[in-house]
Chain A
Amino acid sequence: MTGKQRKQFWNVIQITLILIAAFIMLIPIIWIFLAAFKTHVDVYQLKLFFTPTLENFGTVFDAPYNLGNKLINSTIVAGVTVLFAIPIATCAAYSFSRFRLRFETSMLVMILATQFVPAVVIILPFFVMFRDLGLLDTRLGLIMVNLAIVMPFAIWMIKGFIDGIPLETEEAAMVDGSTRVQVIRNIVLPMAAPGLFTAGIFCFIIAWNEFLFALILTNKDAVTLPIGLALFKAEEGDLWNLLSAAGIIIMLPMFILALIIRKYFVQGMTMGAVR
C-alpha cells in the first residue's frame, strides 16, 4: 500500500468508527421516540415499521396520569430556581471576578465543594425540617433545595463570563464619574447578558432534570416530571408507550435548550477547570 492509500484506508476506518459511535449514542433516544408513537400493542414488539399514533400524548395528560400538573410543577420549580439563582450568582460572580476579598479562595472552594456533596446527605435534614414546617410536597420547598444544586454552577459560570469582559471600559466610566453600581448596571450587565442567559438555561436544565430531591420531598401536589415517570408502572408491568411519550415531553425541551447553549456546556459543567 502506498502512503496515500494507507491514509485513505485509515480515514474509512475512522469514519466507520465515528458512525458506529454516533449510532450507539442515538439508538436509545431514537427507540424512545419510536415507542412514543406506537400503540400499546406495537410497543411490545421489536417493530421498526408501524402505523404511528399520537394517542399516547393525549393519554398521558388525561386522568389518572395528569402529566400536565407535573409539567407545570417542573416549569415553575426550575424557572423560579433560575430567577433566584442568576441575580444572586451574578452579584457574587462580579465581586469574585473584580475584587480581592478576604477568604476569597476559601469561599470559592466552599462553593465548588457544595456541588460535590451527595444530594442524599443534604436532603435528610431538609426532609426533617420541611416535615416540621409543613413544606413537604410544596413547590416552595423544592425551589429552596434546588438552589443548592444550581448555585455553584451559576456562580462559576458567570464568573467565567465576567472575567472575559475587559476592565478598560469599566475603568473609563469610573474616571468619567460613574459610581460602581452604575458601572455594573450600565456596562457589566449588558455585556454579560448573553453569559447570564447561558448560565440561566444551564441551571434550568439541571433543575428540570433533578430527581432525588423531588423524589423525597414530593408525593402528590408538587411532583415534577422525572418523578412522574413512576406513574406508568401498572400491575401488568411498565406501560412503555406512555413512558416513552412522557420521556419525550421531559427531554425534547431540554435538547433544544442544550443545543442553544452547546458551546458553553463543557465550561459550565467543569466550572472553569477546562476551557
Chain B
Amino acid sequence: MRDNKLKYILVLPAIIVVFATAVWPLIESLRLSFTVGRLTKPNFPQGYLGWENYTWAFMEEPAFWNSVEVTVLYTLITVILTTLIALGLAMLLAPGGRLRGGVQTLLILPFAMSPALIGVSFRFMFNPEFGLFDAFFGVVIPPLAEISWLSDPTLAFVVCVMADVWGWIPFLTLVLIGGLASIPQDTIEAAQVDGASSWRVFKDITLPQLVPVLAVVLILKAIFSLKTFDQIYMLTNGGPGTATQTLSHYIYFSGMKYGQIGYSASVAWVMVIPMILLTFLYARYVFQKR
C-alpha cells in the first residue's frame, strides 16, 4: 500500500474513537442544553427551549453562582499554592543524591492514588474524634481544637484545598524538577563565581528560564482544578450546605440527582468555554516544542 493512503488509514481508528467519545458528546450536550431535557418525564428530551436554560442559570439560580464562586476561588487558591510549594520543593530536591532522589521516587505515590481515595483519606484525617490532622491542628492552633472541620463552611473549603494541594504537589514538583534540570548550569556557575547571591541567581537566571515550564504547569493545574469532582464528592459531597460545591459537582447534582439533563448541559457548556481557551493556550506551548 502506498504511504500517502496508509498514513490516513493509520490515524482513522483513533480519530473515530476521539470523535465518538469526545466530540460527539460535546455537540450532543450543546444540543441538549437547548431542550427541556427532563430525565424522569416521557419523550426525552421533550421540546426546544432556546436559551432559557442559560438565562435560568444566570438569572434565577443563586446555586449556580455559588458554584461558580467556589470553583473560581478553589482554582485560584489551589493553582497558586500548589505551584509555589512545588517550586520550592523542586528547588530543594533538584540537586539529586540519595536522599533527594529517594524522596523524588516517593513523590510518585500520591499521584498514583485515586482522587476519590484522597478525598476519603482526608475525611479520615479531619475526623473530629480520631482524625490525625484534626488532632494536630488542635494542638498547634488551640482555638481550632473544638471545631469540627468538615461541618464548618470555611474550614471544609480549606480541607478541600489542602487535599487538592497535597495530591497535586508531587506531580508539579516532578515537572518542575525536569524544568530545572534543563537549565544550562554554566550561566548559573558563572554568576556564582561573580559573587551573585543565591537569591539573585534564582530571580535573574533560574526563574526567567523556567517560565515556559511554569506556564505549562499553571495551565495544566488550572484545567484540573476547574474540573475537580472526585475528591470533593468523597470528602464533603459539596457540603456543608453548598459551601464546597464546585461546578462539576453542581452539574452532576442537577443532572443526575434531579434529572434536569437539559439544564445541567447548559451549565456544563458554560464550563467548557474557559476550558477551550486554556486548551489552546496549552497547545501553543506543546507545539512550540516541536
Could you tell me which A residues sit within 8 Å of B by CB distance?
14-15, 17-18, 21-22, 24-29, 31-32, 35, 43-46, 88-89, 91-92, 94-96, 98-99, 101, 105, 107-114, 116-128, 144-145, 147-148, 151-152, 155, 179-181, 205, 208-209, 211-212, 215-216, 225-227, 229, 238, 240, 243-244, 247, 250-251, 254-255, 257-259, 262, 265-266, 269-275
B29, B124, B135, B230: the one contacting A124 at CB < 8 Å is B29
Tell me, in angstroms, the Cα distance from A35 to B117 when the chains sit together. 14
A110, A265, A266: the one contacting B23 at CB < 8 Å is A110
Interface of A is mostly: helix
Q: Is the CB of B255 within 8 A of A124?
A: yes
Could you list some 18 contacts between A and B, CB below 8 A?
A: A18-B93, A24-B166, A28-B122, A44-B129, A101-B11, A111-B18, A116-B278, A121-B251, A122-B21, A128-B44, A148-B17, A211-B230, A212-B252, A238-B124, A254-B112, A266-B174, A266-B175, A269-B220
20 extra interface residue pairs, beta carbon distance < 8 Å, beyond A22-B106, A113-B276, A273-B216: A14-B92, A28-B166, A96-B11, A101-B7, A101-B11, A109-B280, A114-B23, A116-B275, A120-B251, A121-B26, A209-B114, A216-B252, A226-B114, A229-B117, A229-B120, A240-B130, A262-B105, A266-B174, A273-B282, A273-B286
Tell me, in angstroms, the Cα distance from A257 to B109 when the chains sit together. 10
Closest to B13 in A: A88
Tell me, in angstroms, the Cα distance from A25 to B113 when the chains sit together. 12
Interface of B is mostly: helix
Q: Which residues of A contact B10 (CB under 8 A)?
A: 91-92, 94-95
B15, B130, B166, B251: the one contacting A46 at CB < 8 Å is B130
Q: Is the CB of A45 within 8 A of B130?
A: yes
Closest to B224 in A: A116
Q: Is the CB of B15 within 8 A of A107?
A: yes
In the complex, the 6 A-B pairs of residues with the closest C-beta atoms, listed nearest first: A148-B21, A92-B14, A114-B22, A258-B112, A125-B28, A209-B114
Q: Is the CB of A99 within 8 A of B3?
A: yes
Number of B residues contacting the other chain (C-beta, 8 Å)? 97
Q: Is the CB of A270 within 8 A of B269?
A: no
Q: Which residues of B contact A211 (CB under 8 A)?
A: 114-116, 229-230, 233
Closest to A100 in B: B7
Q: Is the CB of A274 within 8 A of B29?
A: no
Q: Which residues of A contact B103 (CB under 8 A)?
A: 18, 21-22
Tell me, in angstroms, the Cα distance from A113 to B7 when the chains sit together. 22
Q: Is the CB of B283 within 8 A of A112?
A: yes
Q: Is the CB of A120 within 8 A of B114?
A: no
Q: Which of B168-182 contact A (CB under 8 A)?
A: 169-171, 174-175, 178-179, 182
Q: Which residues of B contact A128 (CB under 8 A)?
A: 32, 39, 44-45, 261
User: Is B256 in the interface zone, CB < 8 Å from A?
Assistant: yes
User: Is B49 in the interface zone, CB < 8 Å from A?
Assistant: no
Q: Which residues of B contact A14 (CB under 8 A)?
A: 92
User: Is B137 in the interface zone, CB < 8 Å from A?
Assistant: no
Q: Is the CB of A43 within 8 A of B130?
A: yes
Tell me, in angstroms, the Cα distance from A59 to B286 when the chains sit together. 48
User: Is B226 in the interface zone, CB < 8 Å from A?
Assistant: yes
Tell me, in angstroms, the Cα distance from A108 to B32 when the chains sit together. 27
Determine how close the nearest CB of chain B comes to the CB of A79; give it in whole angstroms: 17
Q: Is the CB of B135 within 8 A of A46?
A: yes
Q: Is the CB of B3 within 8 A of A180?
A: yes
Contact with A along B33-48 (1 / 0, CB 8 A): 0000001000011000
Q: Is the CB of A180 within 8 A of B6?
A: yes
Contact with A along B200-227 (1 / 0, CB 8 A): 0000000000000100100010010011
Q: Which residues of B contact A32 (CB under 8 A)?
A: 121, 124
Knowing A28-B166, A128-B44, A258-B108 are in contact, say whether A251-B255 is a contact too (CB < 8 A).
no
B21, B170, B248: the one contacting A144 at CB < 8 Å is B21
Q: Is the CB of A118 within 8 A of B271?
A: yes
Query: Which of B45, B179, B216, B286 is most buried by chain A, counting CB atoms within 10 A of its CB?
Result: B286
Q: Is the CB of B21 within 8 A of A124?
A: no
Tell me, in angstroms, the Cα distance from A26 to B285 when the chains sit together. 33
Knowing A21-B89, A101-B11 are in contact, say whether A46-B132 is a contact too (CB < 8 A).
yes
Determine how close the nearest CB of chain B comes to the CB of A257; give it in whole angstroms: 7
